[in-house]
Every structure is written in C-alpha cells, then in structure tokens.
Amino acid sequence: MIPEVIRLADKLAAFSDHWNPRIVGAYNGNELRVAKIKGAFSWHSHAATDEMFMPISGMLKIEFRDGERHLRPGEILVVPQGVEHRPVAEEECEVLLLDREGEPNTGVNPSDYTRAKLERI
Amino acid sequence: MIPEVIRLADKLAAFSDHWNPRIVGAYNGNELRVAKIKGAFSWHSHAATDEMFMPISGMLKIEFRDGERHLRPGEILVVPQGVEHRPVAEEECEVLLLDREGEPNTGVNPSDYTRAKLERI
C-alpha cells in the first residue's frame, strides 16, 4: 500500500479555530499536527517529548523563561523536552508541529487551552 | 539555554552536491536533514525507521514497487519502515528529511549513493 501525500494547505483549509491542533500524519511514534494560532498560549513544558515548530504561514514567536525566538516559514525550532515555553502569534499563524503520540498540547501544565483529544483529519 | 532557529535556506546555501544529506537538527532521537537531489536514487528500504520527505523547493517523485507519489512544497510524505522506495527528481529539488538517528541514507541497501557518515551543519 502506498502512503498518502499530506497536503498541508488542504488540511489547514478544513478548520478555522485557534489553538486546536489536528493530527495529519504519523512518524516513528510521533504525530504530525497542524494548528492555527493567534494570541498568546499558556506557559507549559513537555515531560517526555521534544516539540518541533515550523510555521507554514505567518510569524511565530516562541517565548522562553530567559528569552525568545522568532520564526517564519522555512524555519524550524525544536523545543527540547522539559523546557518551559509559550507560543505567541500577533497575527494568525499556521504551523506544522511534531509531538510524541498522545502528548497533550499543554504538556504537563493543563490550562484553558488544553484539548483533551485531538482530532485526526 | 534557548534552542537555535534552524533556517533551512541558510543550511541549503552551504552546499551544492546532490544526494548527500546534511544533519541540521535533532528531534526525539531522530535527525532533521536537508538534501539537494537530482535524478534517480537507488531502491532501498529502512528496517527500523519511517522516513519523512518534505520538498522545500522543486518537485519530488517517490517511486514505490506498486506506484508513485508526487510532492511539491507544502506537502509531506512519510514512507513507513520496511517499504521499498526510490526518490526521483527530474530537476533539482531541495528536501527536508526526518530519519532515526544514524540511519544510513540508503537504509539496508548499500549502493553508490551510500554516505558513510553524514555531516552536521
């Protein structure tokens, strides 16, 4: 069986809400996710997974307790496991994420942004 | 310590040879790699890792024994472990790859394209 092509634009066109990642693929026990984000997320860390961010459109800021990084399409940031961070987007940003399978979007720090179960699209 | 932003264009500007992936980042025991490819690679499979392909520029064809898939920027294909495949690019294509740490570029099928050790840039 031949694997399917994951067309990110098609996946992103399928929803409009913010901070609600959708699962779009699998890689070695990790989930490829896409999300639309706007505003500031809650501070959190992931106990047992790194987290990869790659903007597809727009600008993404990742705040850390001791600084920040700015990302645009064509750029990638991997937040190591255990490192506190907070994604922020002044304008809407579409982002590709990679997280270990089943990892909550707010890691070990539940908040109003926590999504109990992510939808696969 | 804050992780560094991986700027794919900068990484890709640092070399020009084909079929020689460079390691540009790490995620959960996997290696983010970039490569420039042109022509047809050798048939191979990876015994213990999926392999993710995401074109950054150009068009990428992945041939399978029973069909093929075509990819352009904004699209992703994950080749499951154990599945024979052959990447082909009619014109030069720049691609982002994800492979388990240390995985040979030709998997379990050494060929003239095998690179003994990948460079980190």
Block means of pLDDT (10 residues each) for chain A, 121 residues, are 96 98 98 98 97 98 98 98 98 98 96 95 97
Categorise residue A34: left if φ over 0, alpha if ψ from -120 to 50, beta otherwise. beta
SS3 B9: helix
Looking at the complex, does the CB of residue B97 fall below 8 Å from at least one CB of chain A?
no
The CA-CA-CA angle for residues B54, A97, A74, to 5°, reads 50
| CA distances to B48, B106, B110 from B116, in Å | 18, 10, 10
Whole-prediction pTM: 0.97
Question: CB atoms < 10 A from the CB of A117, how many?
Answer: 8
CA distances (Å), origin B81, targets B32, B48, B103, B116: 17, 6, 11, 20
- Number of neighbours of residue B49 by Cβ within 10 angstroms: 22
Question: ipTM of the predicted structure?
Answer: 0.97
Best probe of the A interface among B30, B52, B62, B76, by most A CBs < 10 A, is: B76
Interface check for B56 against chain A (CB to CB < 8 A): the answer is: yes
Q: Using a CB-CB distance cutoff of 8 angstroms, which residues of chain B are in contact with residue A69?
A: 2-5
Cβ-nearest to A75 among B6, B30, B67 = B6
Q: What was the pLDDT predicted at A67?
A: 97
- pLDDT digit string (tens) for B16-31? 999 999 999 999 999 9
Contact B50 A71 (CB under 8 A): no
CATH class of A8-100: mainly beta
CATH superfamily of the domain spanning B8-120? Jelly Rolls (2.60.120.10)
